[in-house]
């Protein structure tokens, strides 16, 4: 299995590049952000709880996202691999993911970390906010909160995967095709 953690701050291009990766390498896309927004749309109690946190730019509890990911992995035992988009976001989530994948005997193959500076992230998210209808994209203060949450809780995961020799950093500035080219080079070197 090819299991890729697509990593980066909010607005780095994870969702955008995931779409291209799943179609090229025939992988299953697991985006915790999309799964949570699905719960919100369905009006489930989980969705209602998550919405309060997401609208403020805060992370939802680890147990919630870990449970969602475990369900999706169990439902797709014969996949060629998975793109983990926006997950893990904390060390606790990364440890839980390693433990789940251990059961499937197919560990994380690599982490692709998209690097983009803060001013560009804010511009991109405010732009998307004009059309996405996402409360967490519409307000600069909330975007700042999301970036702070990333710096405090998520950024340490780079070291977590580097210690396992699985980190590959990618310049996330440039055209979507240029960035995808750099990503494919990294993935193909592993295959």
Cβ neighbours of 116 (radius 10 Å):
20
Residues 97-136 that bind ligand B4P (CB under 6 A): 124, 128, 136
Minimum CB distance to ligand B4P smaller for 165 or for 175 = 175
Minimum CB distance to ligand B4P smaller for 99 or for 165 = 99
| Whether 50 contacts 131, CB under 8 Å | no
| Whether 73 contacts 100, CB under 8 Å | yes
User: Hey, which residues does 28 pair with through a beta bridge?
Assistant: 82
Which listed residue (13, 22, 167, 182) binds ligand B4P by CB under 6 A? 13
12 touches ligand B4P (CB under 6 A): yes
Cβ neighbours of 25 (radius 10 Å):
16
For residues 164 to 183, the per-residue mask of contacts with ligand B4P, x marking binding by CB under 6 A and - elsewhere, is ------------x--x----
Minimum CB distance to ligand B4P smaller for 85 or for 168 = 85
- The least distance separating ligand B4P from the CB of residue 84, rounded to whole angstroms, comes to 9
- Spatial separation of the C-alpha atoms in residues 159 and 38, rounded to whole Å: 31
For residues 30 to 69, the per-residue mask of contacts with ligand B4P, x marking binding by CB under 6 A and - elsewhere, is --xx--x----------------xx--xxxx----x----
Minimum CB distance to ligand B4P smaller for 28 or for 53 = 53
The string of DSSP letters for 40-101 reads: HHHT-HHHHHHHHHHHTTPPPPHHHHHHHHHHHHHH-TT-SEEEEES---SHHHHHHHHHHH
Please tell me whether residue 124 adopts helix, strand or coil conformation. helix
Element (H, E) at 126: helix 118-132
Residues annotated as catalytic are 14, 89, 128, 134, 146
**How many residues contact ligand B4P, by CB under 6 A?**
27
Which listed residue (82, 87, 161, 180) binds ligand B4P by CB under 6 A? 87
Please tell me whether residue 105 adopts helix, strand or coil conformation. coil
Note the residues at the interface with ligand B4P (CB under 6 A).
Answer: 10-16, 32-33, 36, 53-54, 57-60, 65, 86-87, 89, 93, 124, 128, 136, 146, 176, 179
């Amino acid at each position: 299995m090819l299991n890729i953690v697509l990593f980066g701050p909010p607005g780095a291009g994870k969702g955008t590049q995931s779409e291209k990766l799943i179609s090229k390498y025939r992988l299953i896309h697991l985006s915790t952000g999309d799964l949570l927004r699905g719960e919100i749309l369905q009006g489930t109690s989980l969705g209602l709880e998550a919405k309060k946190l997401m609208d403020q730019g805060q992370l939802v509890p680890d147990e919630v996202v870990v449970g969602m990911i475990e369900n999706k992995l169990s439902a797709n035992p014969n996949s060629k691999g998975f793109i983990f988009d926006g997950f893990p976001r904390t060390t606790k989530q990364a440890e839980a993911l390693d433990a789940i994948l251990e059961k499937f005997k197919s560990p994380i193959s690599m982490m692709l970390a998209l690097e983009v500076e803060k001013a560009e992230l804010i511009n991109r998210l405010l732009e998307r906010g004009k059309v996405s209808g996402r409360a967490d994209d519409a307000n600069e203060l909330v975007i700042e909160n999301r970036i702070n949450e990333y710096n405090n809780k998520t950024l340490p995961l780079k070291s977590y995967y580097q210690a396992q020799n699985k980190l590959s950093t990618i310049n996330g500035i440039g055209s979507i095709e240029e960035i995808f080219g750099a990503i494919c080079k990294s993935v193909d070197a592993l295959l």
